[in-house]
Structure 1
Amino acid sequence: MRFVLVFNGTRGDIQPAVVLGTELLRRGHDVVFGAPPNLVGFAAGAGLDARPFGYDTRAHINSDVIRHGVRTGGPITRVRALAEIRDHGWNQMVDEMFELVEDADAIVTGFTTAQIAFAFAERGDVPFFVLHHAPVTENPYFSPFPGAPLTLPARVNAVSWTAVTAAFWMLTRGRENRLRQRLGLGTVKQALPARMQRYGAIELQLYDPVFCPDLARVWGERRPLVGFIDLPQGLRRRIGSDALDADTDLWIDSGDPPIYFGFGSMPVPDAHSLLTAIEEACRKLGQRALVCAGWSDFEEISTDRIRVVATVDHDQVFARCRAVVHHGGAGTTSAAVRAGKPALVCWLGSDQPFWGLQLERLGVGVSTPLTMVDVEVLEENLEVILRAKYTERAAEVASRLRSAEEATADAVDLIENSARQGRTMRLSA
């Protein structure tokens, strides 16, 4: 079978799909992988037929419209920035989809590209799958608003989801119906989630049931919680992009286990000030800091107290650290929890505050907005997560997670079997 996987976003968005794509390839299927130009090499390094899809996401994340447009100026300036972000790359991705989906037997995509990919799935009458890294679909337990309390009444959450879904549909229905007209499809008047459900789409939840035990009961087999998908060691070695250099390996072993600091693909507003705060807070607490620059502009430093590196393999490094300070992406969250390490989430937006609150709920971490972080905030929160009870609780939660191998196998089984059933599977929805 020919599976077409198309994704936009950061490495955290792409990596789980790469794992699933390589497993489909190993099982003998034809796999085409569409990825942002800056991540095509990453997907190709895994052995996939990787092709450019959309815009350079690293450049976009570091653009003025992302860094400043939605955070500064008056309401009109911010609305214009949000509109620009909403439509950025849409036409390019639509044009590139025509070649990518040729002869597809099934289409797999992510949350941000579902509106485009679903229209092509309908045109081809092929099974459709969406990968989610957090609960981003209507449910009674979690609000659609980042940072909202986990204890809101079900009715409040329901009203919030209805409002958000309606607002997004109002903002995007024009562009979707223009795409549908181009594809020879009829005009639609209903928001995407309901249409996907009616079509028989499967929305795989790539996070562990430990975090959201009630969702499995509410959502059922159409939105299964399969667990966190991680890069297996063999695939990590093949890609090789995060291999730990010898000097960093020696630095980690040269003293007490360090605290890891890394913010992934998120643009840190003032990298110099944050690095200064990290160094000072660790000095006060008598800790060492291993800082991963990721997509931020941290200056290179290597002293007995602090070391800055470009990238690291979380699987190799986290087990050798005391605690993990990160942005709250689903991938980094899962890696820290799997390693049995308490975490401080310094979030910027999207699903990151949700994961920070979940770590707090489970007693394995604390969270705060990255914009609030200074020496005092770091020192106070690090003192909390370095307590023995947090480390003990983190180890206990780690033991309850589904293994990455089990999650990957279940996800690919579901995609493979459902795709084989094709139209019959969807009509039974």
Structure 2
Amino acid sequence: MSRFLLAFNGTRGDIQPAVVIGAELARRGHEVVVGAPPNLCEFVASAGLDARPFGYDTHAHMNSEVVRTKLRTGGPRQRWAAFTEIRDLGWARAVSDMAGLSTGADAILTGFVTEQIATPFAESAGAECLSVHHAPIRPNSTVSPVPAGLSGLPPVLNRASWWATDTAMWTLTRGRQNTLRHELGLSGTVARVPGDRLEIQAYDPALCPELVAEWARARPFVGFLGLSGEQRRRIGADTDDSALLDWIEQGSAPVYFGFGSMPVPDPVGVVGAIVAAGERLGVRALISTGWADLPPVESADVRVVGAVDHETILPRCRAAVHHGGAGTTAAALRAGIPSLVCWVGSDQPYWGAQCARHGVGASMRLKGLTTESLVAELTTVLAPECARRAEVLARQLITPEEAVARCADLVEERTDAHLRSRARR
């Protein structure tokens, strides 16, 4: 049996795949340690895994001034300063944490935001390094590196934009990466592009057949990684909220609204737009506050709640309006309901574009949301044809059980090959 370190940082959507993979590897008899943000260690531990702090508190970060204000307002100079602050946030803390976590690991699994730290530590420890990606973040011919701003580019321009983006990021970070390599006693400098590392695509191939054809076996697709029923019970995600279920059953199927861990600009205005749009369209609204401080609403047709179990609630809803995180998008797709993605950034515009492309939803920016824009987009999303396509697509998706089995098989095969190679040296 092998010792696996799963080192991930980010919001719950970034950490949940690690919980799913880690639990499956532990079930197969391996030793598993999960490095996660301090604010999500309890979530990891509740799934029965050995949770250790790794990096900064992401809840505090998402509600910080740099994210809520500096990154989204002001001129180019202020936004660049905010981007630099975010880029450097927690680097020293994560490096220090990784030094203790990586000892004795046979393989380190990580995500995109922590690859720069995990890769040299794995090399130093003689461990295999594997990545799990929940959206396409490597050069390709069909997806732009700036999905919110560029679309429909010819393949040659897509690849050129990836080259420019990768080169810019390498230029910005190579200094600290090379310093870390030197501190770990490693020779050479960091390459502009990653080497021969298994990069598992933890999203469904049915949504991006062009990428599947282009990447073939180099970046295998396993499907969206979701919590099993047993895992949801262990973490308390499927607690029976009889009052909420009764409210849902007492009227027409509501539209779900939830923006996960994203900072919501103008919470009062957003909730006001939701209530007004619901009244205009004649639909009830179920609002999940997530990490945002959303105000209460006094209306029989609107219910404001905390976190909900997507697997239990979304199939009872007519549609989902959400931020477009990979996990929430997957939950809505598997529930067979349309999505209106109100994105904030990162990979979210990509998932919004995919929902629109497959005819199972629409996409818009959360910032600037108004009653009029919400009504206009929901009119498309609530159309019967959109609902029908969502039901059809749901039946084509890889199940959570098959997805995690595929992922764990790939991890075991790659790690076993690495250990055999290491033994021969």
Same fold (TM over 0.5): yes
Q: CA separation of 1:48/1:257 partners in 2, compared to 1, >3 Å: closer, same or farther?
A: same
Q: CA deviation at 1:29?
A: 0.5
2:239 to 240, 243, 246: 243
Whether 1:326 and 2:322 are equivalent positions in the alignment is: yes
- Give the letter for the 1:53 counterpart: F
Q: CA deviation at 1:421?
A: 1.2
Whether 1:27 and 2:28 are equivalent positions in the alignment is: yes
Give deviations 1:159-205, integer Å, cap 9, x for gaps.
100000000000000110110011001231522x33x32xxx11000
1:395 to 388, 391, 414: 391
In 1, the alpha carbon distance for the partners of 2:52 and 2:419 equals: 28
Q: CA deviation at 1:304?
A: 1.4
Partner of 2:352: 356
Contact kept, 8 Å, 1:133 with 1:330, in 2: the verdict is yes
Indicate the percent of aligned positions where both proteins have the same amino acid.
51
In 1, the alpha carbon distance for the partners of 2:10 and 2:384 equals: 37
- Give the letter for the 2:417 counterpart: Q
Which residues in structure 2 correspond to 1:235-384 (within 5 Å)? Answer: 235-241=231-237, 243-301=239-297, 303-384=299-380
Q: CA deviation at 1:302?
A: 5.4
Partner of 2:403: 407
Partner of 1:69: 70
Partner of 1:211: 207
Partner of 1:105: 106
In 1, the alpha carbon distance for the partners of 2:100 and 2:417 equals: 25
Partner of 2:143: 142
In 1, the alpha carbon distance for the partners of 2:74 and 2:97 equals: 35
1:422 to 411, 414, 418: 418
CA RMSD of aligned residues (A): 1.5
In 2, the alpha carbon distance for the partners of 1:312 and 1:100 equals: 32
In 1, the alpha carbon distance for the partners of 2:297 and 2:147 equals: 34
- Give the letter for the 2:102 counterpart: V
- Give the letter for the 1:317 counterpart: I
Give deviations 1:246-270, integer Å, cap 9, x for gaps.
2211111111110000001100011
Partner of 2:40: 39
Contact kept, 8 Å, 1:244 with 1:313, in 2: the verdict is no
In 2, the alpha carbon distance for the partners of 1:112 and 1:132 equals: 10
Q: CA separation of 1:424/1:223 partners in 2, compared to 1, >3 Å: closer, same or farther?
A: farther
Which residues in structure 2 correspond to 1:161-176 (within 5 Å)? Answer: 161-176=162-177
Q: CA deviation at 1:423?
A: 5.4
Q: CA deviation at 1:245?
A: 1.9
In 2, the alpha carbon distance for the partners of 1:18 and 1:407 equals: 13
Moved runs in structure 1, 4+ residues, more than 4 A? 423-426
Q: CA deviation at 1:156?
A: 0.7
In 1, the alpha carbon distance for the partners of 2:274 and 2:190 equals: 51
Q: CA deviation at 1:78?
A: 1.6
- Give the letter for the 1:18 counterpart: V
Contact kept, 8 Å, 1:258 with 1:290, in 2: the verdict is yes
Q: CA separation of 1:42/1:228 partners in 2, compared to 1, >3 Å: closer, same or farther?
A: same
In 1, the alpha carbon distance for the partners of 2:79 and 2:238 equals: 36
In 2, the alpha carbon distance for the partners of 1:241 and 1:404 equals: 16
Partner of 1:129: 130
Which residues in structure 2 correspond to 1:228-239 (within 5 Å)? Answer: 228-239=224-235
Q: CA separation of 1:179/1:245 partners in 2, compared to 1, >3 Å: closer, same or farther?
A: same
Tell me the SS of whatever aligns to 1:367. strand
Q: CA deviation at 1:148?
A: 4.1
Partner of 2:152: 151
Partner of 1:9: 10
Q: CA deviation at 1:211?
A: 1.0
Q: CA separation of 1:244/1:380 partners in 2, compared to 1, >3 Å: closer, same or farther?
A: farther
TM-score (norm 2): 0.97
Q: CA deviation at 1:125?
A: 2.0
Q: CA deviation at 1:425?
A: 6.8
Q: CA deviation at 1:288?
A: 0.3
Q: CA deviation at 1:150?
A: 4.4
Contact kept, 8 Å, 1:121 with 1:127, in 2: the verdict is yes
Partner of 2:95: 94
Partner of 1:177: 178
- Give the letter for the 1:58 counterpart: H
Tell me the SS of whatever aligns to 1:170. helix
Partner of 1:224: 220
In 2, the alpha carbon distance for the partners of 1:300 and 1:189 equals: 50
Contact kept, 8 Å, 1:38 with 1:57, in 2: the verdict is yes
**Greater alpha carbon shift after TM alignment, 293-302 vs 361-370:** 293-302
Contact kept, 8 Å, 1:180 with 1:186, in 2: the verdict is yes
Contact kept, 8 Å, 1:244 with 1:312, in 2: the verdict is no
Whether 1:117 and 2:113 are equivalent positions in the alignment is: no
- Give the letter for the 2:19 counterpart: V
In 1, the alpha carbon distance for the partners of 2:421 and 2:269 equals: 54
Q: CA deviation at 1:220?
A: 2.5
In 2, the alpha carbon distance for the partners of 1:250 and 1:332 equals: 23
In 2, the alpha carbon distance for the partners of 1:136 and 1:352 equals: 12
In 2, the alpha carbon distance for the partners of 1:56 and 1:189 equals: 28
Contact kept, 8 Å, 1:418 with 1:425, in 2: the verdict is no
Contact kept, 8 Å, 2:203 with 2:222, in 1: the verdict is yes
**Greater alpha carbon shift after TM alignment, 66-75 vs 241-250:** 241-250
Q: CA deviation at 1:325?
A: 0.4
Corresponding pairs, count:
422
- Give the letter for the 1:59 counterpart: A
Tell me the SS of whatever aligns to 2:376. helix
- Give the letter for the 1:132 counterpart: H
In 1, the alpha carbon distance for the partners of 2:240 and 2:257 equals: 16
- Give the letter for the 1:376 counterpart: E
- Give the letter for the 1:131 counterpart: V
Q: CA separation of 1:425/1:376 partners in 2, compared to 1, >3 Å: closer, same or farther?
A: farther
In 2, the alpha carbon distance for the partners of 1:244 and 1:188 equals: 53
Contact kept, 8 Å, 1:242 with 1:311, in 2: the verdict is no
- Give the letter for the 1:294 counterpart: G
Q: CA deviation at 1:152?
A: 1.4
